[in-house]
Chain A
């Protein structure tokens, strides 16, 4: 079944009208709408909110509320379809690096990644390089996402990637950095990619996972 209220759901998300979003989602779930369709509409809405924030129309608080609503809808969809598989392998290890505690962008990114089916471990904030590396070792996750807003975070991104190399895990791990990053930061810390756009980040993660699984098939 298609989502009859799709434009309304996007519009309500963009308006950050929590009550209306929940009402429309409940209605859609009752009608048996494909959960992927619901989450896809939610992503379009959230992307528009992000754009309006970057243009200065919305404030950080609005972004937080929109992200909470998004999370809430994702949980409703998961609960309704009971599709969560706790035994799935971890795709992404994600955290704010040592000496930095900014995590609003990280939380939004993780919500969106989860909504497209990525299995993400949230390491929290002020995460030491050793902790990241241990989690990669433990889970075998092919993607590591490091974020930070302070200038000093670049040093800890670099230290984490360096440690990954020392342990011999660098080649098998694709490292993304986010936050206030650019080409210069990427070159300094030695990551594979830097990302600013959430949609692109999700697409790139999916591409990396596909390539890695293809390589695995070729090897075996």
Chain B
């Protein structure tokens, strides 16, 4: 087996779309989205999975740094491939730069179907809070949790029907008292993650190596040494991709 993907359930719509777009046939291990808020537990969960895998040359981690959750991961027998993005929103927007641009315009909270509906998604949590604390208090909690955000963005990743979720985003924006927009996503980074080339947008950790901050943090200045190594050896998977 050439490669295997470990991915967050939160981006399953988009990753499945990228898989069908590129035609790759790697198996996927989905990690529950509830670990999203708990980097230490997510790290443990990921390491457990990685340690159980053998006879695979590349393990592709479809995650952002997720609060340093990837820090310290190690695969004895496989290369680990990690996108150099703060969180998986950049994977859906096509680049870290796009996410930072949107955030610099207005403090922005990005959503997709996954972020709205999956376990620990914004709307599923809201429903739970209404049941437990009543509607008024639940709305107060939502406003407090997202107090400093000024805009919701629903990313049109092409992986789900945007119209079906627009009403939900409108409702959420109404509760929060902030504006919302629809912004087109891009599958470019996910395509590259699946097919390569694994250039400076990715870190490649060799067999037996440990993920360090130099592999993770996005800013090039922090990792010039590693980036130079990567640039010298653009790495891509052998085999065929349609993308």
Contacts and interface: CB of A to CB of B under 8 A. Distances in A.
Given A104-B145, A184-B71, A61 B217 contact: no
A39 interface: no
Interface residues of B, number: 35
B148 A182 contact: no
A101 B34 contact: no
A101 B39 contact: no
B107 A151 contact: no
B63 interface: no
Nearest to B66: A180
A54 interface: yes
A56 B41 contact: yes
B38 A56 contact: yes
Contacts, number: 64
Contacts of B218: 151-152
A56 B37 CA distance: 9
Interface string B31-59: 00010011111000000000000000000
Majority SS at the chain B contact face: helix
A62 B131 CA distance: 12
B67 A185 contact: no
Contacts of B156: none
Given A56-B41, A180-B39, A149 B67 contact: yes
Interface string B70-81: 010000000000
Nearest to B212: A184
Interface of A: 54, 56, 59-62, 64-65, 99, 101-104, 125-126, 149-152, 154-155, 180, 182, 184-185, 188
10 contacts: A59-B128, A60-B145, A101-B148, A101-B149, A103-B148, A104-B144, A151-B217, A155-B219, A182-B71, A185-B213
